[in-house]
Amino acid sequence: MNSELMSIRSTRRFATASPLRYPGGKAPLAGFFADLIAEMKIEAPVYVEPFAGGVGAGLALLRDDLIHRLVINDIDGAVYCFWKSIVENTAAFVDLVADTPLTLDEWNRQKAVYRAGDERNPLALGFSFFYLNRTNRSGILHAGVIGGKSQAGTYRIDARFNRDDLIRRVESIGSNSERITVTDHDGRRVVREHSTNPDVFMYIDPPYVDMGSSLYLNAFTHRDHAELAEDINAAEDANWVLTYDAVPLIRELYEKQFAREYELTYSAYRPGKARELLVASVPVARALNARASLVMA
């Protein structure tokens, strides 16, 4: 495993497409993925995220017709219900974005809906997840409301809830609903199911090791990381990119794969640049080596 720092380049940048504020979101990688897919000459690419979260990169690629289909998977029930509602019940979700009050009373009500976790009403559960994501500090579900209970600061509960912009993003996703598949499977299952399809480009962004319990709805144990690595390593001839925190456990689990550290600028949960690890399958590593303009050591 090479320890050189890799600087990721791309030929274009994309406007924000996801309605979610996601800690550690990888939307900035959309241009890099677009260049990789073009270099690999995947004619009708199916973009798959087994641990979807905000799906920032995938939505940007779909919106610009750079992929044929998008598969959004997240085992967390609230996240799944959010995406399912946007894709299958767009108009009703838009009405909720437009009309739901931005008050502490409503925040408490939505928090109770989220905590109840009743998937029998996916629209209500999915919207509660969205509401808290847009009104909590840094979009973190267990963080407090922006502005605090006093609502006396410069930024208040509505600071990240631009209704018009959010409605545009939701409607854009709804307009592509026939090209989107939403599932709630275990991430390992999704990796296995799609790893034999040559038209699939898979971006795998699992819960990280060091920040797992504080940032992710479904944090991983060391055993979870190891079991996922078994499936990913077994699919080394598929088309996938994996990102992780650059810790010894992950380096060891993927020591036989192409891996480089890279820097990504964050703003949601920590300032400045975060150094992370990018791991690539054999076909993707081949594309990176063939097109040196994509990266710079």
pLDDT digits (tens, 9 = 90+) for 263-297: 765 444 444 466 899 999 999 999 998 876 565 44
CA 151 to chain centroid: 30
pLDDT digits (tens, 9 = 90+) for 190-204: 999 999 999 999 999
| Three-state secondary structure string covering 54-108 | CCHHHHHHHHCCCCCEEEEECCCHHHHHHHHHHHHCHHHHHHHHHHCCCCHHHHH
Using CB atoms within 10 Å of the CB of residue 65, give its burial: 0 to 12 exposed, 13 to 18 middle, 19+ buried.
exposed
- Domains of the chain are 1-75+185-297 (3.40.50.150), 77-178 (1.10.1020)
Starting at the edge strand that comes first in sequence, how are the strands of the sheet with 46-49 ordered? 180-183, 69-73, 46-49, 200-204, 240-245, 273-280, 258-265, 5-8, 295-296
pLDDT digits (tens, 9 = 90+) for 132-182: 999 999 888 888 999 999 998 899 999 999 999 999 999 999 999 999 999
* E strand intervals along 180-239: 180-183, 200-204
Residue 120: Cβ within 10 Å count: 7
d(C-alpha 60, C-alpha 181), whole Å: 16
pTM, 2 dp: 0.92
Q: Rounded mean pLDDT of 9-19?
A: 85
Closest CA to 32 of 57, 1, 56: 57
